[in-house]
Structure 1
Amino acid sequence: MYQLFDYQQKLVDGARKALAEGNKGVLIVSPPGSGKSVVIAEIARLTTEKGGEVLFFVHRKELVNQIKDSFIKQGVDLSNCTIMTVGKVANRLGKIPKPDLIIIDEAHHTRAKSYKKIINYFSDVPLLGFTATPWRMNGKGFNDLYSSLVEGPQVEWLIEHNRLADYTYVSRILGKKDLLKVSSTSDYTSRSMNQYIKSMNFGNMIKTYEEFAKDRKSIVYAPSIESAKLIVRKFKENGFNAVKVDSKTHKAEREEILNNFKIGKTKIIVNVDLISEGFDVPDCSCVIMLRPTKSLVLYLQQAMRCMRYQPHKKAIIIDHVGNFKSEEKVKIKYFGINNEIKTKVKKYPFGFPRDKRNWTIYGRTKPTLSNSNKGPAITTCDYCYAVIPANAVICPICGEKLLKKKKEIISRFNLDDDTEMEVLDSPDKHSDLFKTTYILTQDPSTFTTFKQYSEYGKARGYKPGWAYYHAKAKGLIR
């Protein structure tokens, strides 16, 4: 059986308490990689242990198989469980046993007709929905389906407590973003994304991979099968063995490709809308985003796929399409001069995976990102490439005096005029200044000065004695 972490047990207790208080629908929110399947399995075990019937469904067959494995490991009585995809459940409503509890994974899909058909059919049955991202592109909320929200820890807390891997975020936009057009669904059109990929500087894609992620197990996100083939070809032309996989790949071949990636036989896997929710490869340490999106859900699911925790792991997120800059438009109502109600639209950037987010079951009438994370303008140090406050005169990381310059972006390579690259980190949630973890990308065993140990220790939050001890052990202090 799984031994639940404290925060996972709190989610179990919180969900049960909310149901006991009379809520018919409870939405449980916890970040990608935080172990929602363990929480689901424990709740299912507690329900079946008392003879209760559980109905579990999700939108993809791969996720059904994964939850079955989790149920078995947790000792859930499968004879009291119906575990299927949402499509199969919707077509068997009169044939499956009536449940005592309904559990939905990836519950941000709950607004779909097939989900609501099932929920309405079992309208008197308590409902638990699990998601990392309770967010819909159309701005609609979930309060008509769930009356209570149980929220797990923020990403930053999970990183600090070794439950998710820390990361370095690299942004190097390689294509012409003015080619991207928004469709009626509010995301980019397939045609414009393909045009964007064709406009890319693939030489700089390879250079960025070699600089930051060479020999790392890497997942590449492509917008289409056609673009995935092109990306694979460019990797292979430069001596890197990349493999394409998508929903149209034959089942046996797809399973072989994914298994070869898991065991390390394949290092680069280029996928199309296949590897996001639920795909778990802990030693994958790099994500390369070549699929532009205006969906916060898709962005976080893809960006955080390399953040599964392993000791000493530091993930690399390479964003070639500027997804972290994508903006959410939020309508805000306010009173005018004559107390008339007016509406205006504000834009809020998606930001970084570790940014604090204020999730809600209600429709979006306020920003998703916490206002405390907006921070001041930033720039990139000419010398160490850390992201620092734009008004800094001396780089707080490397100590170099900064050059005065107009708005521009410094690159690590000789780039074309339409190409930009930044090494980024997110704002410190406890500070008004942006904080970089550039020093954390270095291996402490390679340090040659006490200053390096001291900066590394401060960035990690270690006590001052840590730097002194290691520097002395290496003979740097007498």
Structure 2
Amino acid sequence: MPSVSDTLPAPFITGIRPQGGFRLRDGQSQFLSAWAGALARGERNALGVFVPGYGKTITALASYLVAREMGIANRLVVFVPRGNLRDQYADAQELAFVFQSLGSTPPTYCVADSDRVFVKNLQTEFVVTTYQYAAGDRGNEALLEYCRQSKALFVFDEVHHLADEGTWATRLARFPHAASVALSGTPLRSDNKTLFGVPFDEDADGVQTYRALHEVTMRDAHEEGRILKRVDAHVVDYSVRMVNTESGEEVDVTLSELRQEVEASRDVDTYLARRKLRFHEVYLDALVGPAVARFQEKRGELVRALAKSGSLLDGWRDHQMLVIAMSNAHSAAILDYVKRRFPGLRAERIGQDVPLAERTKHLNDYREGRLDVMVQVDMIGEGTDIKPISVIVKADLVRALSKTLQQVFRGMRYVPSWPEEANRCDLYAADDSDVVETLRWLASEEKVGIKMRKESNRIVEPAAIPDQPERSAWALKSVRDAGRQTHRQEQFGRARSSRTFHADAPAPEAAPVQFDVAKKERELRLACSEIAKELAFGIDVPVSHVHAAWKRQIRGQAQADASVVALEKKKTWLERCLRMGRLV
């Protein structure tokens, strides 16, 4: 997760004392320097915009160290979407390593997504929780108590999930806190609702523009190199023949023509999208077929390149493919198509209609590289860090700029162990989804992030198609492939060398085990149990008598309800009893 550089020395930032050759990226340093300045001026809310893969987790932890050093905060609460918990914040050793690399002793740490550990350890310094748990009744009350006891810095990860008037934001607004940092790669919503806890400016026309302390754009990331893959976009057009079932009128139209006359052809477009077109064999042949062919070609190229360089070692990861369907029925149809046409590929699908246990297994297999192709309906989102995804088929109806970017980002994370040319994401889409406009935007000089809000005010997006199809007199009569265009973003320029760990750079020492409260609690319970058994044997009493003697001292609290602090006290008491040869 951390990175180092052999270039210029890192600038001084309050609370940050890099260790073991670690160095922040330029964008992280600029944000943190601006954050320290904002806190000194009395500002308490900030927004940072970072493209995926740039290191929002490091930025979040470093933001707390700055605020703690300045006496603003003494607790850290990171709010994340549920999927991000596993991919970005669940690894205690990784998080402890980041703190050490930043020059800090790792604080106590706890995942607050259930009551089992968190409510017993409200003295924990660093808490990671999900928006879902924080908004629920039990979680909300537990976090309210926690925040009342401390000066907490809140970090809102992927803040575009947090509409100011939404249920989550309403529940989070109860929590007192000293300051907050909002982080996102796309800090806007397709519904244009105001985001919670994000500073913004408003012009004379009432147009809101979010104000970021610092932005790292896609262009910045490409210039820095080895952060994002390049994107090759393949847009497929179709010629369709429609017949009016009431008048018998027949029309021939291409999807690109249909896209340019949205208002005039909305009923036809709705019928095409929901009833027939995306299930049509010609549609799948022209869209999914070339994507799979490119996927297999890329796999062969990668194997040959790695074998030639001697990098084809155990545990290496090959390219993976992601298909975004518009519905559960559609995902089932696409999976059936892939398995029929390409039986050599390991393919599965996940959706709300798939049983949870099966869904979890498929997702785990995909994460670990045991599946080649995943067909899904909006279930692999931001925070899901599967870097080998490098072919995406966009077969859904999403047209909003922010959501489309989040989908594309799933395949844009750079894979350091791959050759430069292998780090390209191939995106396939039909010309009826307006994805062309987004791809043009990706290739432009426009920034990703805060300025996107201004851009979205100039782009009139077609109205979202409802889940239930509108009635239409038009029926689909035939479909044929009308060609495709490929867009490559060559304007990003040559990527500079990345920042990686030097082979001879000394690594920080291993993190202390007490960093993870849940782990420490398990260790203390086991230690107390073993010492109690030894003590009971030595003084010739049942072990239950030992535990009962402790319960009397603490007025009846069961060991199962004990916090880490209480368990440490019990362990000390047991050790003292063992030394003295009696219950004291």
Residue of structure 2 in register with 1:116 after alignment: 169
Q: Deviations over 1:230-254 (max 9, x none)?
A: 1111011112332101245444433
Map residues 396-475 of structure 1 onto 2, 5 A cutoff.
Answer: 417=480, 419-426=482-489, 428=491, 460=494
Residue of structure 1 in register with 2:291 after alignment: 209
Counterpart CA distance in 2 for 1:175 and 1:44 is: 56
Shift in alpha-carbon separation, 1:248–1:419, aligned structure 2, 3 A: same
Q: Cα distance, 1:284 vs. partner?
A: 2.1
Shift in alpha-carbon separation, 1:195–1:138, aligned structure 2, 3 A: same
* Paired letter, 1:212: R
Q: Cα distance, 1:208 vs. partner?
A: 0.8
Residue of structure 2 in register with 1:197 after alignment: 278
Does residue 353 of structure 1 match 2:442? Answer: yes
Residue of structure 2 in register with 1:381 after alignment: none
Counterpart CA distance in 1 for 2:429 and 2:452 is: 31
- 5+ residue gaps, structure 2, are 4-23, 100-105, 110-123, 201-210, 241-254, 264-268, 300-318, 460-477, 497-584
Does residue 95 of structure 1 match 2:142? Answer: yes
Q: Which has the higher contact order (CA 8 A, sep 6+)?
A: 2
Contact persistence 2:231–2:427 (CA under 8 A): no
Question: 164-173 or 62-71, which moves further after superposition?
Answer: 62-71
Pick aligned residue for 1:18 from 27, 33, 38: 38
Q: Cα distance, 1:89 vs. partner?
A: 1.1
Residue of structure 2 in register with 1:8 after alignment: 28
Residue of structure 1 in register with 2:49 after alignment: 29
Pick aligned residue for 2:187 from 126, 134, 146: 134
Map residues 207-286 of structure 1 onto 2, 5 A cutoff.
Answer: 207-214=289-296, 215=299, 216-239=319-342, 240-286=345-391
Counterpart CA distance in 2 for 1:57 and 1:103 is: 6
Does residue 171 of structure 1 match 2:212? Answer: no
Q: Deviations over 1:338-366 (max 9, x none)?
A: xxxxxxxxxx7563434333467699555
Q: Cα distance, 1:426 vs. partner?
A: 3.8
Shift in alpha-carbon separation, 1:245–1:45, aligned structure 2, 3 A: farther
Contact persistence 1:194–1:227 (CA under 8 A): no
Counterpart CA distance in 2 for 1:315 and 1:362 is: 26
Residue of structure 1 in register with 2:223 after alignment: 160
Contact persistence 1:292–1:321 (CA under 8 A): no
- 5+ residue gaps, structure 1, are 183-187, 328-347, 371-414, 430-458, 463-478
Q: If the length of structure 1 is used for normalisation, what is the TM-score?
A: 0.65
Shift in alpha-carbon separation, 1:247–1:23, aligned structure 2, 3 A: farther
* Paired letter, 1:33: G
Q: Cα distance, 1:10 vs. partner?
A: 2.3
What secondary structure is seen at the aligned counterpart in 2 of 1:121? coil
Does residue 83 of structure 1 match 2:128? Answer: yes
What secondary structure is seen at the aligned counterpart in 1 of 2:140? coil
Q: CA RMSD in A?
A: 3.7
Counterpart CA distance in 1 for 2:329 and 2:89 is: 32
Q: Deviations over 1:86-131 (max 9, x none)?
A: 1221233332211521111110122152332244323653121111
Question: 252-261 or 102-111, which moves further after superposition?
Answer: 252-261
Counterpart CA distance in 2 for 1:427 and 1:15 is: 34
Contact persistence 2:80–2:131 (CA under 8 A): yes
Q: Cα distance, 1:28 vs. partner?
A: 1.0
Counterpart CA distance in 1 for 2:359 and 2:452 is: 38
Counterpart CA distance in 1 for 2:216 and 2:29 is: 12
* Paired letter, 1:167: V
What secondary structure is seen at the aligned counterpart in 2 of 1:428? helix
Pick aligned residue for 2:392 from 287, 298, 307: 287
Does residue 74 of structure 1 match 2:98? Answer: yes
Contact persistence 1:172–1:419 (CA under 8 A): yes
Q: Which structure carries more helix by proportion?
A: 2
Counterpart CA distance in 1 for 2:495 and 2:64 is: 38
* Paired letter, 2:141: G
Pick aligned residue for 1:58 from 73, 80, 83: 80
* Paired letter, 2:434: K
Counterpart CA distance in 2 for 1:247 and 1:71 is: 32
Contact persistence 2:221–2:228 (CA under 8 A): yes
Q: Deviations over 1:163-216 (max 9, x none)?
A: 21223221124596569999xxxxx98994464422452222343124422243
Q: Deviations over 1:429-454 (max 9, x none)?
A: 7xxxxxxxxxxxxxxxxxxxxxxxxx
Q: Deviations over 1:291-320 (max 9, x none)?
A: 221221221111122111124233233232
Shift in alpha-carbon separation, 1:367–1:57, aligned structure 2, 3 A: closer
Counterpart CA distance in 2 for 1:299 and 1:95 is: 36
* Paired letter, 1:21: R
Shift in alpha-carbon separation, 1:141–1:359, aligned structure 2, 3 A: farther
Map residues 344-383 of structure 1 onto 2, 5 A cutoff.
Answer: 351-358=440-447, 364=453
* Paired letter, 1:351: R
Q: Deviations over 1:239-288 (max 9, x none)?
A: 23321012454444333323322333211111111112011122222222
Question: 44-53 or 197-206, which moves further after superposition?
Answer: 44-53
What secondary structure is seen at the aligned counterpart in 2 of 1:108? helix
Counterpart CA distance in 2 for 1:43 and 1:116 is: 22
Larger Rg: 2
* Paired letter, 2:442: P
Q: Cα distance, 1:26 vs. partner?
A: 1.1
Contact persistence 2:169–2:196 (CA under 8 A): no
* Paired letter, 2:33: D
Contact persistence 1:29–1:149 (CA under 8 A): yes
The percentage of counterpart residues that share the same residue type is: 19
Shift in alpha-carbon separation, 1:119–1:43, aligned structure 2, 3 A: same
Contact persistence 1:170–1:316 (CA under 8 A): no
Shift in alpha-carbon separation, 1:460–1:249, aligned structure 2, 3 A: same
Q: Cα distance, 1:326 vs. partner?
A: 4.5
* Paired letter, 2:219: E
Residue of structure 2 in register with 1:41 after alignment: 61
What is the aligned residue count? Answer: 364
